[in-house]
């Protein structure tokens, strides 16, 4: 019997539904070509539902989502809702409650895509950032006292346990080994100032590397320095592992070097549980409903999801189809400048599978 995957779909806000529609189109094309099937369960969480009903994400939904093989998400963020409510209430809550402790963000320049980096091409920009996804300032540890007075104090703690660091590093070493390119894992931190947190990261990095991954070369960069080298010499990198906050920042930097938010894909991974795949780009309210947004990032998320589910061949086929389309069809990666509509780009990829 054919394998079937149950995927929860959260199209979300803004252009989320438009890019998710194309992602699903390509997933279904890959399923029929490679002999498996996909069932989608749709969830309308996001700004519109919140404004209509006051509901952000019911507890029952979180339990329901745990039963799926994966989650496919469009975008979260609504101009009518105060920043933080939906991001914390949906995106971050799911990351935490499903313990998706890895945020996998490939930085890969597809052929034909413009990069702002001078004299760099696809042969120079092809690495992966593994962003720790469960700790750091994202845990909400801290607080505010004397709010509204001249003495107001605001604290937001950078929190890491040895367990969080170890499991992230284990994943990163394994990933680097499996990727089998330069076999180099770079730790990005700030050991010269954050002498508690990154001392922990650095010790764990070398202990684990020495004991279990002697075949993987270890490098270290301060976060400020790596921001420079990612621009100047992106070809140095194979796999970079870093903390949650630094990973958030350097992956936007990485994303612009690979052509921007229309292209950058990511996965929130729980290696033992349910993972969630989402384009890094936001909800792009300005372009909502116009059928002009670039769906490549969402389509590429679909490939990451299939790869994660063990359908590596189908994932490769999607990736190759994307590269054929970016190399030979699209004029530009920006919304409204592709030379094709959102749905036409989906068709172009799907028909190449």
Q: Name the site residues for ligand IPM (rule: CB under 6 A).
A: 87, 91-92, 248, 280
Burial class (CB in 10 A: 0-12, 13-18, 19+), 17: buried
CB nearer Mn ion, residue 24 or residue 131: 131
Near Mn ion by CB under 5 A, which window of 1-9, 217-225, 242-250, 256-264?
242-250
Query: What is the rounded CA–CA span in Å between residue 185 and residue 144?
Result: 38
- Per partner kind, with CB cut-offs from 5 to 8 A, the member of Mn ion, ligand IPM, none near residue 91 is ligand IPM
By CB under 5 A, residue 248 contacts Mn ion? yes
CB nearer Mn ion, residue 248 or residue 311: 248
CB nearer ligand IPM, residue 93 or residue 217: 93
SS3 295: coil
Query: What is the rounded CA–CA span in Å between residue 157 and residue 303?
Result: 35
CB nearer Mn ion, residue 13 or residue 248: 248
- 153 bridge partner residues: 145
Question: Smallest gap, in angstroms, from Cβ of residue 117 to ligand IPM?
Answer: 21
Query: What is the rounded CA–CA span in Å between residue 250 and residue 240?
Result: 10
Quick check: 264 and 105 in contact, CB under 8 A? yes
- Per partner kind, with CB cut-offs from 5 to 8 A, the member of ligand IPM, Mn ion, none near residue 245 is none
- Per partner kind, with CB cut-offs from 5 to 8 A, the member of Mn ion, ligand IPM, none near residue 20 is none
Query: What is the rounded CA–CA span in Å between residue 193 and residue 222?
Result: 10
DSSP output for 114-142:
--SSTT--TTT-EEEEEEE-S-GGGG--E
Near Mn ion by CB under 5 A, which window of 13-21, 141-149, 246-254, 313-321?
246-254
Question: Smallest gap, in angstroms, from Cβ of residue 212 to Mn ion?
Answer: 31
- Per partner kind, with CB cut-offs from 5 to 8 A, the member of Mn ion, ligand IPM, none near residue 345 is none
DSSP output for 26-78:
HHHHHHHHHTEEEEEEE---SHHHHHHHS-S--HHHHHHHTTSSEEEEEE---
Question: Smallest gap, in angstroms, from Cβ of residue 58 to Mn ion?
Answer: 26
Question: Smallest gap, in angstroms, from Cβ of residue 178 to ligand IPM?
Answer: 24
Which spans of this chain sit near Mn ion (rule: CB under 5 A)?
A: 248
């Amino acid at each position: 019997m054919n394998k079937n995957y149950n995927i929860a779909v959260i199209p979300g806000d803004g252009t989320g539904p438009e890019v998710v529609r194309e992602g699903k189109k390509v997933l279904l094309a890959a399923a029929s070509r490679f002999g498996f099937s996909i069932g989608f369960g749709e969830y309308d969480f996001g700004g519109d539902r919140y404004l209509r009903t006051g509901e952000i994400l019911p507890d029952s939904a979180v339990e329901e989502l745990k039963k799926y093989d994966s989650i496919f998400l469009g975008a979260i963020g609504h101009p009518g809702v105060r920043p933080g409510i939906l991001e914390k209430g949906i995106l971050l809550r799911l990351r935490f409650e499903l313990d998706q402790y890895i945020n996998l963000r490939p930085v890969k320049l597809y052929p034909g895509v413009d990069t702002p980096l001078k004299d760099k091409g696809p042969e120079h920009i092809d690495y992966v950032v593994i962003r720790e996804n469960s700790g750091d300032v994202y845990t909400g540890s801290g607080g505010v006292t004397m709010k509204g007075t001249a003495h107001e104090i605001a604290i937001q703690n950078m929190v890491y346990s040895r367990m969080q660091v170890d499991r992230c590093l284990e994943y990163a070493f394994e990933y680097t080994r499996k990727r089998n390119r330069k076999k180099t894992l770079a730790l990005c931190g700030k050991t010269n100032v954050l002498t508690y947190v990154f001392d922990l990261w650095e010790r764990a990095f070398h202990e684990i590397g020495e004991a279990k991954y002697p075949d993987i070369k270890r490098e270290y960069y301060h976060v400020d320095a790596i921001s420079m080298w990612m621009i100047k010499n992106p070809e140095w990198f194979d796999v970079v592992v870093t903390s949650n906050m630094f990973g958030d920042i350097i992956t936007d930097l990485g994303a612009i070097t690979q052509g921007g938010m229309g292209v950058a894909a990511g996965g929130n991974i729980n290696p033992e549980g349910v993972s969630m795949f989402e384009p890094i780009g936001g909800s792009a309210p300005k372009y909502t409903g116009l059928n002009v947004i670039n769906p490549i990032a969402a389509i590429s998320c679909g490939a990451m999801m299939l790869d994660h589910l063990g359908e590596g061949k189908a994932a490769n086929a999607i990736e190759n189809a994307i590269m054929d389309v970016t190399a030979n069809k699209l004029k530009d990666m920006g919304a409204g400048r592709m030379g094709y509509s959102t749905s036409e780009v989906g068709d172009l990829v799907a028909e190449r599978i």
